[in-house]
Structure formats: C-alpha cells, structure tokens
Amino acid sequence: MRIVVVGAGKVGRTIAEHLTQEEHEVVVIDKDEVALHRCEDTLDVMCVEGSGANAKTLVEAQVDTADILIAATASDEVNMLCSLMGKRLGAKYTIARIRDPEYNESLSLLQTELGIDLSINPERASAQEISRLLRFPFASDIESFAKGQVEMVLFRVAPQEKIAGIPLWQLAQSLPDMPRVLFAAAEREGEIFIPGGDFVFQPGDHVYVTGDVMSVTRFFRFLGKNTAKSRRVMIVGGGRISYYLARLIVPMGIYVTLIEHNREKAAKLSEELPQVNVLCGDGTSQELLEQEGLTDMNAFVCLTDRDEENLMTGLYAAKQGVGKVIVKNNRLNYLDIIADLGLDTVISPRQITSAGILRYVRALAGSAGTKVEKLFRLMNGRAEALEFIVREGAPYLGKPLKELTLRKNTLVAMITRKNKVIVPGGNDHLEAGDSVVIMAGERGISDLSEVIIK
Amino acid sequence: MNKRLVIRLLGAIILVEAASMVPSLLIALLYREPGDAPAMFYSILLCAVVGAPMFLLARPERTNLRAKDGFGVVALAWILMSILGAMPFVFSDLIPNFFDALFESVSGFTTTGATVLQDFDRPLHGVRFWRSFTHWIGGMGVLVLTLALLPKLTGRTAHLVRAESPGPSLSKIRPKMGDSAKMLYTIYGALTLLEFACLMLAGMDIYDAALHAVSTAGTGGFSSNGASIGGYNSLAIEIVITVFMLLFGMNFALFYRLWRRDAKALWESEELKWYLGIALGASLLLAVLILPVYRTFGEALRYSTFNVATVMSTTGFGNADFNLWPIPAKMLIFVLMFLGGCVGSTAGGMKIMRVALLMKGAKREIARTFQPRKVQTIRFEGHGIDDSMLSSTAAFFGVYVVLILIGAFIVSLEGHYDVETNLTAALTCVSNVGPGLGVVGPAGSFAGYSNFSKVVFSLLMLAGRLELFPILVLFDPQLWKK
C-alpha cells in the first residue's frame, strides 16, 4: 500500500520503520529538515519537506494515490487539518493522533466532520494499558482478545515455580489440578520461543499464558500469585496519562495518590479529579515518597516527562517492596538493561501509539484473504499475536489440529466459537466463523492460510 | 566495516556485470569472428567464478552499512568492476597491455570515453560492443542496477545510492529504493531504444545504431568509427546524437514526471533552464568564434551545437577536431568541460545545479560586502537552500579543482607533454568528458602516456564519476581498521 506519514518525530519514525519492513511504500512529510534527513538515511522512504497542512506539500507527496494518510505531528490541529485535506485530496483512509483532552470530549463529531477514520490518543491508550496492568499486578503485559473474553498475560517464572523444570507435555500429568491454559510464547535471554511439547520452563523466563479470563485467573491463583487487584496506587507526575489513568481506575475502587510538582497543574488536577489525593511536591524525593506511605502502596506508577527520573524512582520503589512498579520510558534503547535491573513493566506511549496505528493498517492491508482482525506486538515487537476469522470454504475446516501442518514458529493459541472460548488441543478443529488467535515468533503474517500450510 | 555484507554486495555486483556481458557475447556469436566470442565467454566465466562464491558464501549478520562504509563499498565496487571489465580487451588482444585495457574499461564505466585504442579495423564486434556497453552500465550506475534486481540485499541503501548517483542531494522518484531503481532503468532503457530507432532512421546500420545508442545513453562517447560521429558525415545522424546527448544530460526525475503527465515539471525546473540556457548561449557564441574556419554560419552552427552538447553532456563524441579551432573557441570548450549536465542524469562534470548554486552564493557574498546586514536565503527550484548545502558545494568545487591540478602535476612528471595537454587531460578525466586539448584532443589519444599515468587517470575518472568523496574515502586509513 501507499502510505503517507506526516511528522517524522518519534511516533512517525517508528510507524514508518515498521511499515517499510512490511513492504509498504512510505512517504514521510516533515517541516524539519534534520529529522527528515535522518529518516531518509536510515529508512527506505521518500521524504517531502514541508507542512502537512499545506495542500501543495500533500500533492507533492502524491496523497491523491495514497491508501492511508497518517497524521502524527506534535500538533492536534495540524493533524486534523492534514486528515481533512488528505481525505479531500483523495487519500482513502486517514489516521490522526489527537491527544488533547479538550478535543476528546467531542471526538466523534470531529472524526465524522473531518473524515478521520481512526483517531489515536497516545496518552489515553497508555492509561488504558496501565489500568489493565494494575488488575494483574504480577503481570508485565496483558492483551485481550475476542471482545475481552480471552486474555494473554505475560509473567516471569519465579524460582521454585510449580511449572518450572517440567516439560510441557508432562505438565497435565504432573500437576493435575492446574487449570487448562496455553503457554503461547516465552522469552529466554533475549530469544523468543513458541514453546512446543518438550519445552521446559526455567526460572527467569518471561512467559505469555493465555486462556479465558477465568482460567487465567485460576491459573495464577494455582501458582500462588496474588490476583487481587491493587487497592492503593501512587502516581508520580501529573501529565495527561496520569489524568486519564486516574479517571479510569478511580471508578474501579482504587485509592489514588497523585504527586505533581507544579502547583497550578496540581490544583487543576484536584479540581478535575475530586476523588484523587493530589499532592504538590517533588515525586522523586525519597522523603516525600516515604512520608506519603510508599511502602503501603500496592502499586507505584511513575509517569514524569523524564525517562531517567522514572527509571530511578521506579527502582527505588521496587527496592522499598512495592509489589507492582510501572514506569514510562519513551526511548526504547535501554529496555533490555531495565529488565535486568528488575523493572519488568515499562510503558512507552510511542510504542503503544504505533502499535495501535499498525494494527489498523494491518487490518486494512489484509483485505485480501483472511483479514487480521487484531494484532498485538509482544515482547518488544519480536513476537506477534494475530486474531483471524476463519472463512467459509477453507481447506482445513473440520480437521483435527494434530493433522494440520503449521508454519514453523507458530501456534494456534485460542479458538472462540459462538462466544465460547476453547483452549485448543490436538483434537480440536476449526469451523467457519471461528475467531482464532495465532502466536508467531516472526513478523509479517497477514493471512491464516500462511499459517496453516496443509 | 561490515566485511561480510561488503563481500556479498561486491559479489552481487560482479554477477550483475557477468550478466551484462551476455549481450556482447550474443553479438560475438552472431558475427563469428576469431577471438571475439571466446574473449567474452572467458570474461563472463571469470566474473562468475569470482562473484558467485562471494555472493553465496558470505552470510552477513547485520544488513546495515554505515555512511562511510557505504561510500567505501561503492568505490571498491567500481574498481573491481573496472578490472573485470577490462578482461575482454585483454583476452581478445584488442588492447593487450593490462594497464591500457584497465584505462579503457574505467573510461567506459565512468562514461568518460577517453581512449587508448588506435586500431579500429580489427573485426571484433562483440568486444567493441562491450566497450560501448560499459557506458550504458556505468551511466545509470551498477549499484542502482543491482538494487533494481535485488532490492533486499541491504537494509539501508540510501548511502550506497547517494554515493553513486550524481548530484548533491538524493532524490527518489518512488518511495522504495528498489522501485525507484527499476523505474530509472525503465526510463533509461526506453530512451535508449528510442535513440536506436532514430539512428536507424537516420541511416546507420543496426550494429552501429545499437552501439552509438548505448554510448550516448551513458553519455560516454566510445564510437565504433575511428573518426567518431564525424566519420559518418551525416547531418541527420549528428542532429539525432545532439538531441539525445542533451536529453541524457537532463535529470531523469523530469522524464518520470513527464511520464506521469506532469508537463509543468519541465517548465518549473530551474536547473533545466540553466542547462538549456547555457547550451544555447554557448552554441551561438561558439558558432561566431569558429566562423572563420567554416564557410557559412549554418555550418559553423552545426559544429558548435554538436560540440557544446558533447562537452556539456560530457559524452565526448566528435564531428570535428576542436583542437584546430581558434584559441577563444578552445578556451570556451575548456570552460564548458567543468560544467557537466544536470543532477540525476548520466552526465559527469560538476553538474549545473552546483554551478548555479556557486554563482548565486558568490552573488550573495558580493552583495554582503556592500550591505553587511543583508539577510538573503538562496533559492533553487523553488526551495530555500540550506547554508550547509552551499558550503558543501563550495568545498566540492575546491576539491574538484585541486584534484585536477594534482592530477595534472603528477602526469606532467613524465615530462614530454605540454601544459595544455596535461591540464586538459586531467580535467577531461575528472569531468568524464573524453577528449581534451593538445595531444589528447578529439583526433588524438591517451596512448602515449605511461602505465603509471594511466592508473592516475583511471583514479581521476573514478573520482569524477563518483563525485570525489567515495574515492577519497578509500585513502582514509580509518576505513580499513576494525
């Protein structure tokens, strides 16, 4: 597909990078020559200098023949204008990043009037992600499929974990009480595995476990992990993510303490979020944190604008024994090092935004053959979970899974049939209309027929 | 340096070269002349034996190249390609001395067209076609061709293509480099075929038409005729060649936009206006200057337009010996040798865009002397030009001149040619024109220089074709360290 990306900032670049890897034709527009040169040097894209809200620039980028226009500049207004003009000039679909809460109120009106097909709000998407993580405090990532009935949860195998040291095919015999769940992917020392029958878990592995919500919850209870959601949460930094997060989790009955160092900002937050305990102070000060009862918290979320501050404060909180520590990090370079230090939950709005946009682009691109209904990037983008709807007339309908040949490094992780979730074993089969979740240790799968070879 | 990737890339390029020798082999098989087909066949075999293991066995772990490595690879690729491209001349005994053959091959790939060949009578149609076909390969660039065929070879291709494509800035015509390369070669091939047809209509035989079409397309200048185009003594042929020389000196992105029915592009292109303006002005001026030599103004115009086109597009065909013209006419030819064609064309030289930027920059500096507080952004093609671009253009010009002077000095150590010959020989090599003045004029040849000087000329031609920096980076010891 031909895709025009407006804005060569953090998000724009990440999107362009992924799209070129997936063989799309990408044109990047930006006013900043330096950012543009960096794009041109490192990515196989065409660059056009100019404002995305300028029709001449858009025409130069041949937006008239573009399939998708993605407006990802720092300014909501420019993004909206871009989408409006792009649509009028002939772009088939438009995606805009709109982040200001003010616009959020009237988003649906704006979207229809401006012809925006998908609007994405990085801060809100990040807040949603964090709120999910707070529900499973021991998990470092949670994705949901099949309208929320199926969950995929990433956790770290602890020393003396019950499941450690036993080959997967023996698990059902050795641990008869274990609820039926599926181990979808594992990461060990930076390498991704789609575990087969003879895979043995070791302490320290990061494992994605999947199943219907009840089974997954029971599985963690079986492992002796605390599945009660966090009751007391401390948030440092009063930015937009914090605002959205507080709005999301306060109704869940969570007591939120929010620390913001700017007095005006803090006052405004307390006005908007009356149920939140808003404090004005330096959230990185250990004294303040201790005074406000850091050690009593179930979870600590650090969302200041500085990555380093977030990491250091997060590490401190983890050391103080806070069960769940979530930090924001916009630069992804250090992810591996951070994980080694013991912070396994790092949120990157940039990654979340680009994942959201890519998910949409993928679904559009998959219009030929079986569509990818939903796509999740797992383990820092090195593995994918893809949701497909099985079509009528596929050659593999009705055959038991054990008789089918699957593509290497893939796994059928979940089947949902008529709102019922099936954790697939060798005797299960596919029917037309089923929703299937496929785990893949590689990228670029766009069709179910690529996974099931025979 | 990512050595494995470099080796794999070089292997791919050698294989592409082997494939590009096949047409010449077919021609040789058609004419059945002694020593012709075997020379092409053994050359292809040699390329395959060298290239295939490099391409197949080197397994790079990473597919990214740093900017400097990219430049180094391009330079190495061109040197290796030239050495292997010289083999048909050696094997066929057309040019038995290896250094002569190397000079001829480099001159071919860099689309210079300077020659050491004096024997135009031996019937070696295949090898002779190869000699001109090197222009076609080198004109658009062998890396561009390799990327068109194997777009997945490396991750970051921008550095490679930038090092090989003429001009200070890289302009892609399609978002993906591979598609861009394919499109460029499609336009290139179509224009070459068009010229081939025109030359047939103008009365050339099929072999000569094909040979001169590929020679013009790369703006090279090798001819199958000892007296070059002048040997045909046909006005029609000269007009066709003049038009196509000028066309191949234009930016190929313009042809792409024309193809997309964007006719405004021609009118909007500032560089094209400069290019055609200079060509027109210089032709008229030259016609006046050479009027004493020819009978009518019409005849003078015939020779002046052809020679302005051949020098500006840096092709190097001849229909007259400008060495015999009056001094002012020779001086004008000398100046034109610096200019070259447009950015993104197959022509050599400094490129019209750089010349235009230098002029505009100079004008601004002069204005600043009188009005120190004057703020003025230089514009080109409707866009403001960054000061860093201006200073790098100025640096390019500086290095260009210094390289010519150093080259001329080194070859003058031989001691038996005059200043005019040595200076224009170095200039014509760096600018990839072909003929110079004096002994290396259109009727002369480089054959009298020593082997050492020929290597120096070869390096100058490569430096000129790759726009200086890729060849210069080879002399940087840091490139070779781990």
10 Å Cβ neighbour count for A3?
27
Average pLDDT (A430-449) is 81
pLDDT digits (tens, 9 = 90+) for B185-210: 999 999 999 999 999 999 999 999 99
3-state DSSP call for residue B383?
strand
Residue A370 has pLDDT above 60, yes or no: no
Of A2, A41, A44, the CB nearest to B177: A44
Reported confidence tier of residue A130, pLDDT bands at 50, 70, 90: confident
- Most confident range, picked from A186-190, B46-50, B174-178, B218-222: B46-50
The answer to whether A22 faces chain B, any CB pair under 8 Å, is: no
Of A33, A42, A44, the CB nearest to B176: A44
* Cα A17 to Cα A8, A27, A43, A253, distances in angstroms: 11, 11, 6, 40
Between B133 and A125, the more confident residue is: B133
The answer to whether B236 faces chain A, any CB pair under 8 Å, is: no
Reported confidence tier of residue B214, pLDDT bands at 50, 70, 90: very high
Reported confidence tier of residue B81, pLDDT bands at 50, 70, 90: very high
pLDDT digits (tens, 9 = 90+) for A190-231: 788 888 777 888 888 888 888 877 788 788 888 877 656 678
pLDDT at B155: 62
Residue A145 has pLDDT above 80, yes or no: no
Residue B398 has pLDDT above 90, yes or no: yes
Provide, as residue numbers in chain B, all residues whose Cβ is less than 8 Å from the Cβ of A43. Answer: 156
Cα nearest neighbour of A16 on chain B:
B175
pLDDT at B386: 83
Q: A362-451 maps to which CATH number?
A: 3.30.70.1450
Residue with tokens 């800035």: B169
3-state DSSP call for residue B103?
helix
Contact (CB, 8 A) for B240 and B199:
yes
Q: Tokens in use for A324?
A: 């769940």
pLDDT at B133: 95
Decide: pTM greater than 0.95: no
Specify the range with the lowest mean pLDDT, choosing from A233-242, A418-427, B266-275.
A418-427
Contact (CB, 8 A) for B440 and B446:
yes
The answer to whether B161 faces chain A, any CB pair under 8 Å, is: no
The answer to whether A5 faces chain B, any CB pair under 8 Å, is: no
Q: What percent of chain B has pLDDT over 90?
A: 55
Provide, as residue numbers in chain A, all residues whose Cβ is less than 8 Å from the Cβ of B178. Answer: 44
Q: Tokens in use for A77?
A: 């207004």
pLDDT at B246: 95
Cα nearest neighbour of B159 on chain A:
A41
10 Å Cβ neighbour count for B258?
14
Cα nearest neighbour of B260 on chain A:
A62
Average pLDDT (B329-348) is 92
Instruction: For the domain made up of A229-347, give the CATH fold.
Output: Rossmann fold (3.40.50)
Contact B158 A46 (CB under 8 A): no
pLDDT at A160: 77
Between A178 and B409, the more confident residue is: B409
Residue B147 has pLDDT above 90, yes or no: no
pLDDT digits (tens, 9 = 90+) for A106-125: 877 888 888 888 888 888 88
Interchain CB contacts (distance < 8 Å): A and B: 30
Number of residues that make up chain A: 454
CA distance B178 to chain A (A): 9
* Cα A450 to Cα A408, A438, A445, distances in angstroms: 11, 11, 7
Contact B179 A42 (CB under 8 A): no
Secondary structure, 3-state, chain A:
CEEEEECCCHHHHHHHHHHHHCCCEEEEEECCHHHHHHHHHHCCCEEEECCCCCHHHHHHCCHHHCCEEEECCCCHHHHHHHHHHHHHHCCCEEEEECCCHHHHHCHHHHHHHHCCCEEECHHHHHHHHHHHHHHCCCCCEEEEEHHHCEEEEEEECCCCCCCCCCEHHHHHHHCCCCCCCEEEEEEECCEEECCCCCCECCCCCEEEEEEEHHHHHHHHHHCCCCCCCCCEEEEECCCHHHHHHHHHHHHHCCEEEEEECCHHHHHHHHHHCCCCEEEECCCCCHHHHHHCCHHHCCEEEECCCCHHHHHHHHHHHHHCCCCEEEEECCCCCCHHHHHHHCCCCEECHHHHHHHHHHHHHHHHHCCCCCCEEEEEEECCCCEEEEEEECCCCCCCCCCEHHHCCECCCEEEEEEEECCEEECCCCCCECCCCCEEEEEECCCCCCCHHHHECC
How many CA atoms, within 13 angstroms, populate the side-chain half-sphere of residue A300?
28
pLDDT at B154: 64
Specify the range with the lowest mean pLDDT, choosing from A330-334, B71-75, B287-291.
A330-334
Cα nearest neighbour of B172 on chain A:
A46
Residues 6+ apart with CB under 8 A from B401: none
pLDDT at A146: 65
* Cα A236 to Cα A136, A299, A313, distances in angstroms: 20, 11, 9
Reported confidence tier of residue B87, pLDDT bands at 50, 70, 90: very high
Whole-number Å distance between alpha carbons of A100 and A81: 15
> Which amino acid is located at A349 in the chain?
P
Average pLDDT, chain A: 83
pLDDT digits (tens, 9 = 90+) for B306-328: 999 999 999 989 888 888 999 99
Residue B481 has pLDDT above 60, yes or no: yes
Average pLDDT, chain B: 89
The answer to whether B45 faces chain A, any CB pair under 8 Å, is: no
Of A27, A33, A42, the CB nearest to B175: A27
Provide, as residue numbers in chain B, all residues whose Cβ is less than 8 Å from the Cβ of A49. Answer: 383
pLDDT at A229: 65
CA distance B427 to chain A (A): 32
Q: Which residue of B160, B172, B260, B268 is the best one to mutate when testing the A interface, meaning the one whose CB has the most A CBs within 10 A? A: B172
Cα nearest neighbour of A23 on chain B:
B176
Residue A332 has pLDDT above 80, yes or no: no
The answer to whether A17 faces chain B, any CB pair under 8 Å, is: no
Contact B175 A42 (CB under 8 A): no
Contact A49 B383 (CB under 8 A): yes
Of A20, A40, A46, the CB nearest to B174: A46
Q: What percent of chain B has pLDDT over 70?
A: 97
Whole-number Å distance between alpha carbons of B283 and B290: 10
> Which amino acid is located at B379 in the chain?
R
pLDDT digits (tens, 9 = 90+) for B424-451: 999 999 999 989 998 898 888 898 899 9
Structural domain boundaries in chain A: 2-120, 229-347, 362-451
pLDDT at A369: 46
> Which amino acid is located at A246 in the chain?
A
Q: Which residue of A44, A45, A59, A69 is the best one to mutate when testing the B interface, meaning the one whose CB has the most B CBs within 10 A? A: A44
Asked if the domains at A2-120 and A229-347 fall in one CATH topology, the answer is yes
pLDDT at B156: 66
The answer to whether A31 faces chain B, any CB pair under 8 Å, is: no
Contact B158 A44 (CB under 8 A): yes
Q: Which residue of A2, A37, A46 is the best one to mutate when testing the B interface, meaning the one whose CB has the most B CBs within 10 A? A: A46
Q: Tokens in use for A283?
A: 């959230």
Residue A154 has pLDDT above 90, yes or no: no
The answer to whether B66 faces chain A, any CB pair under 8 Å, is: no
Sheet strands side by side (includes A118-120): A46-49, A25-30, A2-6, A68-71, A93-97, A118-120
Contact B175 A49 (CB under 8 A): no
Average pLDDT (B171-188) is 84
pLDDT at B4: 83
Residue B482 has pLDDT above 60, yes or no: no
Contact B158 A40 (CB under 8 A): yes
pLDDT at B445: 86
Cα nearest neighbour of B162 on chain A:
A41
Specify the range with the lowest mean pLDDT, choosing from A44-58, A434-448, B335-349, B350-364.
A434-448
> Which amino acid is located at A374 in the chain?
K
Average pLDDT (A157-186) is 82
Of B158, B383, B386, the CB nearest to A41: B158
pLDDT at A368: 41
pLDDT at A367: 46
Whole-number Å distance between alpha carbons of B84 and B103: 12
Contact (CB, 8 A) for B112 and B347:
no
The answer to whether B170 faces chain A, any CB pair under 8 Å, is: yes
Q: What is the ipTM of this complex?
A: 0.75
Residue with tokens 């001819």: B223
Sheet strands side by side (includes A420-422): A372-378, A383-389, A435-440, A410-417, A420-422
Contact B156 A41 (CB under 8 A): yes
Whole-number Å distance between alpha carbons of A1 and A136: 38
Average pLDDT (B281-302) is 93
Domain A2-120 part of CATH 3.40.50.720: yes
Provide, as residue numbers in chain A, all residues whose Cβ is less than 8 Å from the Cβ of B65. Answer: none
A206-212 and A277-280: which strand pairing? unpaired
Helices (H), B249-296: 252-259, 264-268, 270-290
Of the candidates A409, A345, A356, A372, the residue with the CA atom closest to the CA atom of residue A18: A356
Contact A25 B175 (CB under 8 A): yes
Whole-number Å distance between alpha carbons of A445 and A451: 8
